[in-house]
């Protein structure tokens, strides 16, 4: 396979040199290069992973077997320190035999303490929390309400303002559809941004089909919304402004407090999708004048399938429910709650408060190490604001390297080229386009996610591996060769086919 890749790349180089101004030659050459680079990347990934991990795997297996023999459950290896949690995570995932996990924006591993909290609901605490005529329902409901309190504490909300859902997608749909529908007689305008999560954008577009006007605000080259443009976009019939707290692809943090002040001034409800911010960056719904907020459990080391939406009670925010049923959750979200998931979510929320200082310091330190190492590679750039950014999300473009080829060459590291919800698409990231990146740079971007269980050794390995494999792929690239020889790629008439 590697020989086929090299042969293809040699042919590409010949095509590019002979016909630098020939559209058919360039078009064919680029297609051949992409295919050849992918083949070479796959072969390199297999060889590099085998060579680099031989000793690491043997040591990891030995440690895992030794420790597993002395440990009967995850809870027994869990101490109060972050290092103990990191060790437990390494053991439970079999570090050395599975890829290093750096895709924390897609999901986070379940904290073993969360799992321990959930297990009792699959044995003794199996009552329906909405059954209020016997002890089985009472005891389960007590646990649900304790979880509600923990979830509320993270954002300084009243527990009565927390509505449990199946996740942030449902929460966002509840808000983007429920609020406009309730106020549709007098309020027919919604404002959001072009870099929101897909579920917000699609929900907003669905409201256009119901007769609402939607303004999609641009962001600047750092990914930040322009506050003046936001305020100017507000109309007398604006019912809702929805701006995400932390972007899921580039980690940019929006100025929530300033946006909240603008919305309060104009008496417009302010919603933020905080799936990537909840429990990671400070959020106070009262200080920031946030009226509605969406969160997800599995982004904070909790179980998948649980989320919540904060709905302010004073002054009261009204919305039409999107589910019809028994009227659970203050009549806003009908359906029986899943106590194991809700309790796990509550424990995860409790832990983000307890571990907050340690998590922030740990993630910031590793992020700085990772970012410094990646940006030391020639022709790499950080996507999004360096200042207004959640450090656990690092999005970097590697010029003259196809991102998909790099991912294939990094099969020993779990990474992403963008949102997990749109990763099946081969189109360049709409978020990177929105901040001014061209197709080439958008296609060459990789997202790195650092979390509670990420280790310094993993970061060091990733920086070293990325450096070697970017170098390898660039050496195969005729474009990189042309740049090194001083050829201005912008002077070439590229084919549009």
- Beta strand 393-398 with 380-382 is antiparallel
Percent of the chain topping pLDDT 90: 70
Mean pLDDT of the region 165-172: 98
Mean pLDDT of the region 440-464: 96
Q: Domain map of the chain by residue range?
A: 2-101+355-491, 115-354
Mean pLDDT of the region 181-193: 98
Residue 34 has pLDDT above 90, yes or no: no
CATH of 2-101+355-491, one of 3.40.50.300, 3.40.50.720, 3.10.580.10, 3.90.1150.10: 3.90.1150.10
242, 294, 279, 244: which is closest to 392 by C-alpha?
Answer: 279
Residue 486: what pLDDT?
83
Tokens of 246: 């932390």
CA separation (Å) from 16 to 173, 189, 231, 300, 481? 49, 51, 50, 48, 11
- Per the model's pLDDT, the better-predicted residue between 497 and 426 turns out to be 426
Distant-in-sequence, close-in-space partners of 225: CB < 8 Å, separation ≥ 6: 193, 217, 219, 243, 254, 255, 259
d(CA 351, CA 340): 16
- Per the model's pLDDT, the better-predicted residue between 309 and 85 turns out to be 309
d(CA 474, CA 471): 5
Residue 465: what pLDDT?
97
Type and span of the H or E element at 102: none
- Say whether 115-354 and 2-101+355-491 share the same fold: no
Residue 17: what pLDDT?
41
Residue 44: what pLDDT?
56
Residue 228 has pLDDT above 80, yes or no: yes
Residue 7 has pLDDT above 70, yes or no: no
Residue 478: what pLDDT?
84
Residue 27: what pLDDT?
39
d(CA 17, CA 19): 6
CA separation (Å) from 404 to 266, 412, 445? 45, 14, 9
Residue 477: what pLDDT?
83
Distant-in-sequence, close-in-space partners of 484: CB < 8 Å, separation ≥ 6: none
At 72, the pLDDT band (50, 70, 90 cuts) reads very low
Residue 88: what pLDDT?
45
d(CA 175, CA 308): 11
CATH of 115-354, one of 3.40.50.300, 3.40.50.1100, 3.40.50.620, 3.40.640.10: 3.40.640.10
310-333 pLDDT, tens per residue? 999 999 999 999 998 999 988 899
Residue 495 has pLDDT above 80, yes or no: no
d(CA 389, CA 394): 9
- Tokens 């806003």 belong to 332
Of 154-168, 203-217, 399-413, which gets the smallest average pLDDT?
399-413
Residue 304: what pLDDT?
98
Residue 105 has pLDDT above 90, yes or no: yes
- Per the model's pLDDT, the better-predicted residue between 197 and 36 turns out to be 197
Mean pLDDT of the region 41-52: 54
Residue 483: what pLDDT?
85
Of 410-419, 433-442, 451-460, which gets the smallest average pLDDT?
410-419
d(CA 94, CA 106): 20
Residue 89 has pLDDT above 90, yes or no: no
Residue 85: what pLDDT?
47
DSSP 490: G
d(CA 345, CA 117): 10
Percent of the chain topping pLDDT 70: 78
- Per the model's pLDDT, the better-predicted residue between 307 and 71 turns out to be 307
- Per the model's pLDDT, the better-predicted residue between 31 and 204 turns out to be 204
What angle, 0 to 180 degrees and rounded to 10, lies between the N-to-C axes of helices 356-375 and 82-93? 60
Query: CB neighbours (10 Å) of residue 313?
Result: 12
Residue 391 has pLDDT above 80, yes or no: yes
Residue 164 has pLDDT above 70, yes or no: yes
Q: What angle do CA 211, 213, 219 make, to 5 degrees?
A: 150
Residue 171: what pLDDT?
98
Mean pLDDT of the region 49-53: 49
- Per the model's pLDDT, the better-predicted residue between 156 and 50 turns out to be 156
Residue 246 has pLDDT above 90, yes or no: yes
- Per the model's pLDDT, the better-predicted residue between 491 and 452 turns out to be 452
Residue 204: what pLDDT?
98
Residue 494 has pLDDT above 70, yes or no: no
Residue 485: what pLDDT?
81
d(CA 51, CA 294): 44
Report the catalytic residues: 421
């Amino acid at each position: 396979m590697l020989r086929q890749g090299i042969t293809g790349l040699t042919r590409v180089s010949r095509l590019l040199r002979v016909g630098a101004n020939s559209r058919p030659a360039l078009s064919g050459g680029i297609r051949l290069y992409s295919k050849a680079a992918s083949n070479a990347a796959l072969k390199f990934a297999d060889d590099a992973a085998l060579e680099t991990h031989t000793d690491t795997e043997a040591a990891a297996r030995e440690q895992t077997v030794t420790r597993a023999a002395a440990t009967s459950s995850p809870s027994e290896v869990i101490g109060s320190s972050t290092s103990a949690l990191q060790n437990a995570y390494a053991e439970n995932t079999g570090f050395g035999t599975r890829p290093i996990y750096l895709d924390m924006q897609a999901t986070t591993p379940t904290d073993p303490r969360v799992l321990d909290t959930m297990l009792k609901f699959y044995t003794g605490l199996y009552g329906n929390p909405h059954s209020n005529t016997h002890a089985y329902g009472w005891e389960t409901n007590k646990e649900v309400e304790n979880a509600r309190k923990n979830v509320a504490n993270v954002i300084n909300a009243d527990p009565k303002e927390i509505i449990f859902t199946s996740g942030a997608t449902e929460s966002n749909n509840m808000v983007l559809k429920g609020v406009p529908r309730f106020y549709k007689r007098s309020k027919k305008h919604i404002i959001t941004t072009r870099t929101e999560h897909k579920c917000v954008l699609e929900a907003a577009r669905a409201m256009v089909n119901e007769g609402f006007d939607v303004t999609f605000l641009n962001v600047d080259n750092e990914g930040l919304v322009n506050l003046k443009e936001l305020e100017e976009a507000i109309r007398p019939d604006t019912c809702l402004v929805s701006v995400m707290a932390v972007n899921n692809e580039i980690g940019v943090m929006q100025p929530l407090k300033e946006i909240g002040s603008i919305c309060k001034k104009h008496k417009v409800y302010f919603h933020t999708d905080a799936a990537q911010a909840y429990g990671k960056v400070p959020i106070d719904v009262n200080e920031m004048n946030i009226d509605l907020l969406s969160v997800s459990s599995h982004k904070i080391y909790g179980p998948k399938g649980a989320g919540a939406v904060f709905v302010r009670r004073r002054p009261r925010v009204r919305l039409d429910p999107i589910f019809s049923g028994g009227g659970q959750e203050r009549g806003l979200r009908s359906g029986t709650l899943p106590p194991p998931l809700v309790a796990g979510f509550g424990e995860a929320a409790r832990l983000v408060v307890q571990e907050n200082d340690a998590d922030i310091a740990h993630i910031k330190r590793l992020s700085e190490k990772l970012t410094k190492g990646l940006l030391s590679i020639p022709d790499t750039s950080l996507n999004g604001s360096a200042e207004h950014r959640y450090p656990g999300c690092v999005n970097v473009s590697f010029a003259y390297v196809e991102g998909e080829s790099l991912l294939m060459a990094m099969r020993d590291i779990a990474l992403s080229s963008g949102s997990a919800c749109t990763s099946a698409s081969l189109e360049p990231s709409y978020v990177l386009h929105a901040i001014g990146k061209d197709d080439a740079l958008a296609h060459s971007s990789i997202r790195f996610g650092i979390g509670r269980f990420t280790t310094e050794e993993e970061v060091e390995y990733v920086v070293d591996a990325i450096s070697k494999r970017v170098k390898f792929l660039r050496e195969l690239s005729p474009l990189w060769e042309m740049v090194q020889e001083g050829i201005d790629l912008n002077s070439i008439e590229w084919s549009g086919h």
